[in-house]
Structure 1
Amino acid sequence: MASPLLRLVVLFGGVSAEHDVSCVTAAHVLAAADRSKYDLVPIGITKGGTWLRNDKAIAALTEGSALPDRLEAAGTEIEPLTAIRGEVDGPDQPVTVVLPLLHGPHGEDGTIQGMLELFKVPYVGAGVLSSALCMDKAMAKVVAEQAGIPQCRWIEFRDGIDDPNTIVARAVDELGLPLFVKPANLGSSVGISKAHDPSELDKAIDIALRYDDVVIIEEHVTAREVEVAVLGNTAPEASVPGEILPGSEFYDYEDKYVTGAATLVIPAELPDDATREVRYLAAKAFTALRCAGMARVDFFYEEGGRGWLLNEVNTIPGFTPGSMYPKLWEATGVRYPDLIDQLVTFALENHRRRVGFSTDH
């Protein structure tokens, strides 16, 4: 008798400003996954937090029909535990792996990962601590600094704790102008602004505070933007680096997801020693921040200056065929469907390790 297919639950949507990005990512992952290996179960989470099984997508997958370029968090309402574990109990229950594609808060920040730990279900990607750490850019910078990974200069503003009347003057005095302002706990360039003077800086802080109560203010760096994809668990491997040439003043949300004006250069045109160094630093950051499965590690390259400066680490990077993470691995020799297979393998490996720990004292 043939073995049952591994049940791969794809979680998408979510209670986040990055909901729409996640819906696009999920459609492409489902289209690329090998249907001869997986029973694919798309579960959408609405912006209000309701879990829905996307029956239309399931029917299309069953029939071998094409999926749309974007999935909707729509369908039959389902309890989270049933969605994750399935409706079959007992010895015939298929092995389930969850692939969270929930960008931003309530998905990439350790909350979903904690729930999956409680359910004792294998899942792709970083665990609770690493997810929360990498989501909070301020805390990630603290850990990266402790690990000796070079970064640009920055300060943190915490609403309700730090003095808003002095933060603008302090930032200009310590970091100069222009400055970049971003919410600490968000991605996809949502809420990020570039401030050229104190007035713009004040407005940029207000914009970031719409999304989070912790704001990062960073120095402007005249540098190339280079990203590296990392894959693995305890022995992570780094892809060839890729460079982003923004179509606007900086690589913002419009550039990434609307206009598509940015140019991705893969592999990045770098000296061999610079390529080796950034791949080493990417794996080092991955390990220092306790990542697992996958992450995209973003750098600035200040030629003729400080060299490589860590920007941030994304534990659930964009995963469409046009996204940097899968494109970097394709250039390194790992095809998109094979990448999904490897991530599932790493998820099962991590799960076996975690459940093997003793609960006795």
Structure 2
Amino acid sequence: MKNIAILMGGYSSEFEISIQSGNVVYKNLNRNKYVPFRIHITQKDWYYVDDNDQKHAIDKNDFSLMLGTSKITFDAAFNTVHGSPGEDGLLQAYLELIGIPQTSCDFYQAALTFNKRDCISTLKPYGIPTATNYFLNKGDAVNEQEIIDTVGLPCFVKANKAGSSYGVSKVKKAEELLPAIEVAYKEDDEIIIESFLSGTEVSVGVIKYKGKDTVLPITEIVTENDFFDFEAKYLGKSEEITPARLSDEDTKKVKNLALQVYQILKMKGFSRSEYIFHNGEPHFVEMNTNPGLSEASILPQQAQAHGISLQELLSSVIEECLTK
């Protein structure tokens, strides 16, 4: 039996969503193979939460736990921390330093994909289509006309390093631009402003399954809101259709593109990337390296459509990281 630390929580606005994901992993992990431990990661402290909701401190020197007189160590960490430090490379680097395998991508890939601007800049030389974009850092002069001339209207203003659509606004008129920039700066001191891509939006899960890079059935996102924002993702304001209502040709196009992106970025574990069919061609929007695993999340739906149960999905990523 392997001791598995399920890491959840984190330092970002996605704390509660991560707790949901972690609890789903805890509930569905195969108890015949694994002994799961719910480990909450907060800025103040890290602790194990037992079945009586009692907290027990984690020793960060070696990521161990004392229960009574017994010292518990972990064979692997299941990383469900969305945002920092679980999705930006910090946890990955720490766990690599102390020699504990973990289920998500390596620290460099996490840092790269968490930074929307750097990720797009890395993919562009490979010919991966993306929106036209404009970068701003806090303190930069804001030339509204230059931004609009570059990306057009409507456009999206996004916090560069944030998830779950926090710090994202759709700007339709010039006077909405400055307020949207202020919203984004509440989440991050770097901003990416992107041209509006008009067309069908899809989410593509690519995972390492039984040692093979596997593209899961595609999910089409149909939102009641202006875009796939927090409400659409988590409060039922969207319809997620798996498999997506795409032609065979478009399905093949976006699957090939998603696999190419996964391999260019040297990903491992689970990933979910978003694409919009703009003028008939799929355009890369962003990569999520710790996709949600709550009951409402897309990746488990896609795995199920592929014939992979949630328990199989979770076991596969643990076994994959243990073999490394």
Q: TM-score range by the shorter chain?
A: over 0.9
Aligned-residue Cα RMSD (Å) equals 1.9
Distance in 2 of aligned mates of 1:333 and 1:283: 19
Say which SS state the counterpart of residue 205 (structure 1) adopts.
helix
What is the letter of the counterpart of residue 23 of structure 2?
Answer: A
Aligned counterpart for 2:292 among listed residues 305, 310, 318: 318
Superposed, which structure 2 residues align to 1:227-238 within 5 Å? 227-232=203-208, 235-238=212-215
The alpha carbon displacement at 1:94 in A equals 6.9
Instruction: Render the CA deviation track for 1:97-141: whole Å, top value 9, x for unaligned.
Output: 101111112220000000001111110011011000000000000
Show the counterpart of 2:121: 142
Instruction: State the alpha-carbon separation in 1 of the partners of residues 159 and 275 from structure 2.
Output: 18
Q: Which deviates further from its counterpart, 229-238 or 200-209?
A: 229-238
- Determine which of 32, 55, 77 is the counterpart of 2:57: 77
Please say if residues 221 and 241 of structure 2, whose CA atoms lie closer than 8 Å, have aligned partners that are also in contact.
Answer: yes
CA distance in 1, matches of 2:21, 2:310: 13
In 2: Cα distance, 1:15 partner to 1:94 partner: 24
Is the Cα contact below 8 Å between 1:242 and 1:324 reproduced in 2? yes
Give 1:268 shift: 0.3
1:50 paired to 2:18 = no
Residue aligning to 2:149: 173
Residues in 1 aligned to 2:269 and 2:86: alpha-carbon distance in whole angstroms: 16
Secondary structure in 1 matching 2:246: coil
Q: 1:309: how far off?
A: 0.3
Match for residue 337 of structure 1 among 306, 311, 315: 311
Q: 1:114 and 1:147 mapped to 2: Cα distance?
A: 27
- Structure-2 separation of matches of 1:94 and 1:22: 23
* Aligned counterparts of 1:147 and 1:32: Cα–Cα separation in 2: 38
SS in 2 for 1:236: strand
For the 8 Å contact 2:57–2:65, the answer to whether it is kept is no
Are 1:163 and 2:141 counterparts? yes
> 1:300 aligned to 2:276?
yes
- Paired with 2:178 and 2:312, the residues of 1 have a C-alpha distance of 46
1:235-250 aligned within 5 A: 235-250=212-227
- Give the secondary-structure state (helix, strand or coil) at the position aligned to 2:272: strand
Distance 1:75 1:94, change over 3 A: closer
Q: How many residue pairs end up in the alignment?
A: 320
Q: 1:268 to 1:306 in 2, by over 3 A?
A: closer
In the alignment, which of 121, 136, 139 is matched to residue 100 of structure 2?
121
SS state at 2:267 partner: coil
Any gaps of 5 or more consecutive residues in structure 1? 60-71, 351-361
Contact 1:85 1:96 in 2 (8 A): no
1:199-218, aligned counterparts within 5 Å?
Answer: 199-218=175-194
| Residues 105 and 185, structure 1, Cα contact 8 Å, conserved in 2 | no
Tell me, in whole angstroms, the C-alpha distance in 2 between the residues paired with 1:118 and 1:342.
24
Matched to 1:118, the amino acid is: L
Distance 1:30 1:197, change over 3 A: same
Query: Are the equivalent residues in 1 in contact too, given 2:184–2:191 (CA < 8 A)?
Result: yes
Give the distance between the partners of 2:93 and 2:78, measured in 1 at CA. Answer: 14
Distance 1:235 1:148, change over 3 A: farther
Amino acid of the structure 1 residue aligned with 2:141: D
2:77 and 2:100 in contact (8 A); partners too: yes
Go from structure 1 to structure 2 and tell me whether the alpha carbon gap of 1:93 and 1:76 turns closer, same or farther (over 3 Å shift): closer
Aligned to 1:284: 260
CA distance in 2 between counterparts of 1:310 and 1:346 reads: 27
Letter in 1 for 2:130: Q
1:22 match: secondary structure: helix
Structure 1 CA distance for aligned equivalents of residues 73 and 34 of structure 2 = 11
2:27 to 28, 31, 38: 31
Contact 1:245–1:263 under 8 Å retained in 2: yes
**Offset from partner CA, 1:300-341 (integer Å, 9 cap, x none):** 012xx1510001110000111321111111101111100001
Counterpart position of 2:283: 309
| C-alpha contact (below 8 Å) 1:240/1:275 kept by paired residues | no
Partner of 2:17: 21
Would you say the 8 A contact 1:10–1:42 is kept in 2? yes
Q: What is the CA–CA distance in structure 2 between the aligned matches of 1:203 and 1:147, rounded to whole Å?
A: 34
* Maintained 8 Å contact 1:245/1:264: yes
Q: Give the Å deviation of 1:77.
A: 2.6
Output the amino acid matched with 1:244: I
CA distance in structure 2 between the aligned counterparts of 1:93 and 1:22, rounded to whole angstroms: 23
